[in-house]
Amino acid sequence: MNTQKKPNQAVADQIVESWAKGKPLLETTGKPSGYYRLTNYLRDYIATHNTLPTGIHTMPEGRDSNNNIEPSFPVNFDTIP
């Protein structure tokens, strides 16, 4: 079984980790709110457009593990190192 990540997935994961630095962590996941939505959005974006996003993109609303609505939020991809 191939356990290596696809290159686009690895790039998306690196960007999300950089975005997550300094943000408050949720007790339930140990990740900031929106972490998994941003990860999925970025992986889909790269796969669809074959490029990295630039500028501000709005992440869609989501649901947490208790089915509570999590609000959408903007991400400025130009400021993520």
Digit-coded pLDDT (tens) for 11-20:
999 999 999 9
Read off the pLDDT band of 63 (50, 70, 90). Answer: confident
Predicted pLDDT of residue 3: 44
Largest pairwise CA distance in the chain: 38
41 burial class (0-12, 13-18, 19+ CB within 10 angstroms)?
Answer: buried
Question: In angstroms, rounded to a whole number, what is the distance separating the alpha carbons of residues 64 and 57?
Answer: 21
Give me Rg for the CA atoms of the chain: 13
pLDDT (mean) for 7-30: 91
Query: Does 79 score more than 80 pLDDT?
Result: yes
* pTM assigned to the model: 0.83
Query: Does 61 score more than 60 pLDDT?
Result: yes
Q: Which of 12, 53, 57, 52 is nearest to 36 (CA)?
A: 12
